[in-house]
Amino acid sequence: MINVGFIGAGALANAMHYPSVAAFEDVTIAAICDLNPERLNTTAEKYQVAHRYTEYRRMLDEVDLDAVYVIMPPVFLKPIVLDCLAAGKHVFMEKPPGASVADAQEMADAARAHDRLTMVAFNRRFACVVVEAKRFIDDRGPITQCLVEFHKYHIGNARWEYYGTGMFETDIIHVVDLLRHFGGEVTDVEAYVQTWYSDQENVFNALLRFESGATGILTANRASGTRYERFEVHGHGIAAYIRAPEMAEIYKDGESQPFILRGSVLVGNEQPYRTYGFFDENRHFIDCITTGRQPMTNLDDAVKTRMLVDRILEAGRHRAG
């Protein structure tokens, strides 16, 4: 039995991570910590957790834990993660991995020094329609091109100071990571970063070249009309058009009608924490603890995504300047 503790009992943790972990028969949620007693007790009552703390160091000292989930904004992550690693715990954390590349690198170095496993919650990699669509593409060889788009309506309320970093680093990093997942490591970046109807950077477009020679395209607009997320992956006579977590359309060899993958059908459940990859990323983390292997989205890998985020921003700001 794997004993885990949670640091953080907010909305995202309760919507996605707690129900995922609670469903695993080989895992016990042994302790919860949150600064807000109401959130703490509500969550602990729901999952019948007796050990409750408002100070996480006491939890680390008093409860025998194999791993700790740190589910909170990036500005608060680094000192907590470093303490958990020093206490000998494996660590799962929400993205992004800290407020900067330096934060992510320091945590990655500490994980290696303490020989602990880490995982950053890039859930799109684990969304069932992404997993299955990627398998269809990869079965035919290397990709030729991929595209990620991730738009939202954030005019007038796009304030991110609480997170200690900007919206590209905090949110759009999800699809930057997916570019690496689809195409591999990046050699060249061209980008535009713009400000529209706001006092913050909120329109981002980039063209990338991967080591394989394939190309990647990113478009993300936070002055748009609604939340819209879509991915394309093109390979050898095959293309996948993905609307995670709902569906993916697979076209092959000139066929006019696609083969359709539906997220709710693939997992037998319509709950977003199942279709959008949260359940499967948590299962992956637990399985890695059991087998002793580093998770796919470990901190060393996440540093590469975080570095690519900065490369895109720097290229776009240089061009704008």
Which residue has 């359709």 as its token pair? 260
Distance CA 59, CA 71 (A): 15
Phi, psi of 108 (to 5 degrees): -65, -45
Q: In a structure prediction context, what are the per-residue pLDDT tens digits for the chain, which is 321 residues long?
A: 999 999 999 999 999 999 999 999 999 999 999 999 999 999 999 999 999 999 999 999 999 999 999 999 999 999 999 999 999 999 999 999 999 999 999 999 999 999 999 999 999 999 999 999 999 999 999 999 999 999 999 876 555 565 778 889 999 999 999 999 999 999 999 999 999 998 888 999 999 999 999 999 999 999 999 999 999 999 999 999 999 899 999 999 999 999 999 999 999 999 999 999 999 999 999 999 999 999 999 999 999 999 999 999 999 998 765
Cβ atoms of residues 208 and 216 within 8 Å: yes
Distance CA 198, CA 201 (A): 8
| b/e sequence 72-109, b meaning 16+ C-beta within 10 Å | bbbbbbbebbbbbbebebbbbbbbbbbbbbebbbbbbe
Q: Which helix (H) or strand (E) holds 5?
A: strand 2-7
Residue 7 pairs in a beta bridge with 33, 70
Position 320 scores a pLDDT of: 67
Would you tell me the crossing angle of helices 128-138 and 173-183 to the nearest 10 degrees? Answer: 30
Query: For the sheet containing 2-7, what is the strand order?
Result: 51-53, 27-33, 2-7, 67-70, 90-94, 118-121
Domains of the chain: 2-122 (3.40.50.720), 124-320 (3.30.360.10)
Which residue has 């503790």 as its token pair? 5
Distance CA 9, CA 44 (A): 9
Position 155 scores a pLDDT of: 79
